[in-house]
Amino acid sequence: MSTVWMSELSWVDYRERIQRDRPPVLLPVGALEQHGPHLPLGTDGLLASAVAADTAGQVAGLVAPTLSYGYKSQPKCGGGQHFCGTTSVDAATLIGQVRDAVREFARHGVDKLVIVNGHYENQWFLIEGIDLGLRDLGPQATLQVMRLEYWDFMTPDTLADVFPDGFPGFALEHAAVLETSMMLHHHPSLVRIDLLPDDGPADFPPYDMYPTRTDWVPPSGVLSSARGADAAKGRLLADEVSRRMAEAIRTGFQRP
Ligand code: ZN
Ligand code: MN
């Protein structure tokens, strides 16, 4: 089987793959967002793209180029908008990109589109883009869309292995053990393990304030410690996520 990357195919080869094989097309969505001093700004898109590629290899799928700008970073799950380098789009922009993608892939003849989200804040705007895109296409459209957050494919057993002292929850896992371990597995040359900060879990009140209170967020931008991150944990997580995402794609598109 040839490449999983849509951007590496000619239009002729792409058309043949779509018409002959009816492959699922995976569309990663990330963000350009601070991830502490030790991880790159593109972490969310890099990880969404990496798990999408591993999954595509198991289901003979294609991976479309990542939507690399995400919805605005929030203090409680991404550190907030006050960090230099965090570069976000308005909700309407992200919704419009996803709506356009749904319509375009349907026009190509794609019938299985999988939107692989790697940035917590994107979720509801992806849902809205899918809904508007399918509404544009109308009830005769054959395209179905699966939307997922890749971290939801991590099982409690694996999280217990990765966090022997207890799992702090996905929201606080920003630039912490999960993302750092997965980056050490997929992109080790992009991780500055010597710069790992040691901030404890951020302690947020049960409300939000606007303008946001930047003093709620550790200056490093990391919301819980990344100590304990390693490539073996990253591999365990990455393998489980891609294996279970592939299962979901095999079964989830079957209409009752
Ligand atoms: Zn992230
Ligand atoms: Mn993020």
pLDDT per position as a tens digit, 78-94: 999 999 999 999 999 99
Q: Return the amino acid letter for 98.
A: V
The pLDDT value given to residue 244: 98
All residues with CB under 5 Å from ion ligand 2: 31, 33, 44, 78, 119
- Long-range CB contact pairs, 199-207, < 8 A, 24+: 199/223, 199/224, 199/225, 200/224, 200/225, 201/168, 201/172, 201/225, 202/76, 202/172, 204/75, 204/76
Q: Which ligand is nearest to the CA of 31?
A: 2
Q: Which ligand is nearest to the CA of 74?
A: 2
Ligand 2 mean position, distance from CA 120 (Å): 6
Q: Which positions of the chain have pLDDT values less than 70?
A: 1
The pLDDT value given to residue 199: 80
Ligand 1 mean position, distance from CA 170 (Å): 10
Ligand 2 mean position, distance from CA 173 (Å): 10
φ and ψ at residue 151, rounded to 5 degrees:
-70, -20
The pLDDT value given to residue 1: 53
